[in-house]
Amino acid sequence: MRPFVYDRATSVEEAIKAALALAKKPAGTAAAGPVNFLAGGTTLIDLMKLDVMRPERVIDINPLERAGRQGRIEASPQSLWLGGLVRMADVMRHPEVARDYPVIVQSLAFAASAQLRNMASLAGNVLQRTRCSYFRDTSWAACNKRDPGSGCAALDGVNRPHAVLGVSDHCIATYPGDFAQALIALDAKVEIAGVGGMRRIPFADLHRRPGDAPHIETVLQPGDLITGFEIPAAPWTRRSLYLKVRDRQSYEFALASAAVALDLAEGVVRGARIALGGVATVPWRAREAEAALAGKPLDEAAAKAAADAAFADATPRQHNAYKVPLGKATLARALMQAGSMEI
């Protein structure tokens, strides 16, 4: 860990101003640049100790929890608001979210450990960085995400945990989170405070695929601060779930996961929202699978056809080819389970 300046923000505006003071890096590198916001610290502090992240300034935004909507959960008939500084555990315990948006609660409940969920903020959670071992250990020279242009040790290395969707020749690091899958499936919007004030963008536009610049993970600009998420109420949110398949039963990242939300009428799919985790480089909306299901009776064959569609463009490597059949099985199982939910 390198020495850094520690600031405590007293307002959103001030936090942004402080962040901009040192910002020199190009857009999208907010998470890797010289300034980092600190909320739960469950990713940042870890990576600072490993010398992977070396911020010069850390701005503690926890004081903003009680100001504005950042620390609030607000449920209305039209939508659900989840503030960026709300802790994962607080959402899990919220009865209305549990009733109306089970996929959100489950995606949080199956993540991390109780201790981490008590600390980690929602905004920090969606920005958590990959678990790729070659990224997290600086003794590996080749990592385009950590050191642009240095190569990718994972391409032909131990890549059992790596992604098969959204990959490039420059990076196959898996997006590790769970909550983001629920957000992207439910057409959430993310609210961002920045230099020009507040703006809202589709959550689906927040993350960038690695392409030839895997070090740029989001569209966030220097000074941008995620203040919360808005999830529109929709006919499919109650019939929703998150299925997470992993090597051990708890406290572990997904090998494959599926967030599904279904609007069923007489067993026929009127609307389906599907996202995949553990298999892709970014939170992954499976629109091909949704299209394959639309208007069809939900049965095993339809679920399997949708799963096939979701993985049609998968690009496996030496050790992660299993993620294609596993990802398909996970999605098919999630769809069948959602179909049989009592709501």
Partner 1 sequence: MSAAAPEPKANMGPPEPRIDGRLKVTGQARYPADVPVSNPLYAYLVTSAIARGRITSFDLGAARGVPGVADILTHENTHGDVKQPKFFADGGYASTSIRPLDSAQIWHDGQIIALVLAETYEAAREAAHRVKVNYVEETPTATFDDAGASTQLAKEARKTHEDPEVGNFDEAFRTAEVKLDEWYSTPTQHHNAMELFATTCAWAGPQLTIYEPSQFVYGLQNGVAEQLGIDPEHIRVVSTFIGGAFGSKGSTTPRTALVAIAARRLGRPVKLVATRDQGFTIATYRAETRHHLRLGAARDGKLVALSHEGWEVTSRPDAYMVSGTDTTSRMYAVPNVATNVSIVHADRNTPGFMRSPPETPYMYALESAMDELAVKLAMDPVELRRTNDTMKEPIKGLPYTSRSLMQCFEEASRTFGWSKRNPQPGSMRDGDWLIGWGCATACYPTHIAPATARVRLTPDGEARVETAAHDIGTGTYTVIGQVVAEKLGLPLEKVAVLLGDSQLPPAPVSGGSNVTASVCTVVAKACDAIRSRLGNPNAAELMDALKRQGAGAIEEYAENVSNGPPPESLPLLYKGAVKMAGGATLKDRIQYAFGAEFVEVRVHALTREIRVPRAVGAFAAGRIMNTRTAHSQLMGGMVWGIASALHEATEIDRRAARYVNDNFADYLVPVNADVNQLDVILVSEEDTKVNPLGIKGLGELGNVGTAAAVANAVFHATGRRVRDLPIRIDALLA
Binding site residues, partner 1, CB under 8 A: 1-3, 49, 51, 131, 133-134, 136-141, 153, 156-158, 160-161, 245-252, 255-256, 322, 325-326, 329-330, 332-333
**141 or 301: CB nearest partner 1:** 141
d(CA 207, CA 223): 17
For partner 1, the closer of residues 156 and 205 by Cβ is 156
Nearer to partner 1, 51 or 74 (CB): 51
d(CA 157, CA 176): 19
* DSSP notation for 109-121: HTSS-HHHHHH-B
Rounded alpha-carbon distances, angstroms, from residue 262 to 18, 150, 250, 289, 294: 44, 43, 26, 12, 10
- Provide the β-strand partners of residue 268: 265, 297
Nearest to 92, CA basis, from 59, 118, 128, 123: 118
The minimum distance between CB 244 and partner 1, in angstroms, equals 10
Q: How far is the CB of 232 from partner 1 (least distance, A)?
A: 30
Cβ 313 to partner 1, closest distance in Å?
Answer: 20
To the nearest whole angstrom, how small is the minimum distance from the Cβ of residue 242 to partner 1? Answer: 14
The least distance separating partner 1 from the CB of residue 84, rounded to whole angstroms, comes to 25
The nearer residue to partner 1, 114 or 343, going by C-beta atoms, is 114
Q: How far apart are the first and last CA of the chain?
A: 49
CA distances from 34 to 54, 177, 321 (A): 7, 24, 37
Residue (157 or 210) nearer to partner 1, CB: 157
Shortest Cβ 186–partner 1 spacing (Å): 23
Answer whether 252's CB lies under 8 Å from 246's CB. Answer: yes
Q: What DSSP designation does 65 have?
A: G
Name the residue nearer to partner 1 (CB basis): 153 or 274: 153
Tokens representing residue 333 in the block: 């199982």
State in angstroms the smallest separation of the CB of 326 from partner 1: 6
Closest CA to 288 of 317, 271, 267, 312: 312
Q: Nearer Cβ to partner 1, position 137 or 308? A: 137
Q: What angle do CA 27, 62, 284 make, to 5 degrees?
A: 50
